[in-house]
Amino acid sequence: MTGPALPAGFFDRPAALVARELVGCDLRIHGVGGPIVETEAYDRTDPASHSFAGPTRRNASMFGPAGHAYVYRSYGLHWCLNLVCQPGSAVLIRALEPRHDLAAMAARRGLDDPRRLCAGPGRLCQALGVTDAEDGLLLDRPPFALSLGTPDGSVVADRRIGLTRAVETPWRFLVAGSRFVSRPVPRARAKGRADA
């Protein structure tokens, strides 16, 4: 059973807003997945975004209609899943809590530890079986299933991970204190101390 469907037009909004609201939503692919605990936003004006320099073959899905998947290969080894928002913008799904069909995830990952099954965009795609076969697919029908949910804790914003440009933009959203995120907010910033 799944929760309430996402409202129509949910993805046709600025990516940062969608990214925050996606935390807590349940994501499954072929029935495998769970509640999202970590996301990142990217948009057309963002130097760190694949869309920054305009449409190319790789990022074609990012410039298509909202509500589709954008999947790309990272570092030649891993797949990363994005949910497309307004043209040229998308939300990277970085981590979720493994809840549905853990056996499938463990088999694909070759691991057992629930904390490591889906903690990171590449790991998550491996666990859920996402490849470029999903690039461009609509999100409101199989193999995808997305439903509203409530985060298991407060949602906090922090800098994105692994970037070389626009490193300060606070467009990573995660459940504070979740054991399933790829990386917690560093103590120095978690306390609300001065930023740089």
Partner DNA sequence: CTGCCGATGCCCT
Partner DNA sequence: GGGCATCGGCAGC
Q: Which positions lie near DNA, rule CB under 7 A?
A: 40, 42, 48-51, 53, 56-59, 62, 70, 73-78, 80, 82, 90, 92, 109, 116, 120-124, 160-165, 182
Structure tokens given for 96: 């979720």
**Nearest-5° angle of CA 82, CA 85, CA 87?**
110
Nearest approach in angstroms of CB 11 to DNA is 14
Structure tokens given for 195: 């930023």
| C-alpha to C-alpha distances, 73 to 9, 58, 147, nearest whole angstrom | 28, 9, 26
Nearest approach in angstroms of CB 90 to DNA is 5
Nearer to DNA, 77 or 194 (CB): 77
Nearest approach in angstroms of CB 4 to DNA is 26
Nearest approach in angstroms of CB 20 to DNA is 16
H or E element that contains 7: none
| Paired residues of 145 in beta bridges | 28
Task: Name residue, tokens 């439903």.
Answer: 147
Nearest approach in angstroms of CB 116 to DNA is 6
The Cα–Cα gap between 43 and 80 comes to: 16
Nearer to DNA, 76 or 192 (CB): 76
Nearer to DNA, 29 or 80 (CB): 80
Nearer to DNA, 74 or 154 (CB): 74
Nearer to DNA, 2 or 113 (CB): 113
Nearest approach in angstroms of CB 176 to DNA is 16
Nearer to DNA, 121 or 149 (CB): 121
The Cα–Cα gap between 140 and 122 comes to: 22
Greatest alpha-carbon span in the chain: 46
Whether residue 88 contacts residue 38, with contact meaning beta carbons closer than 8 Å, is answered with no
Whether residue 123 contacts residue 116, with contact meaning beta carbons closer than 8 Å, is answered with yes
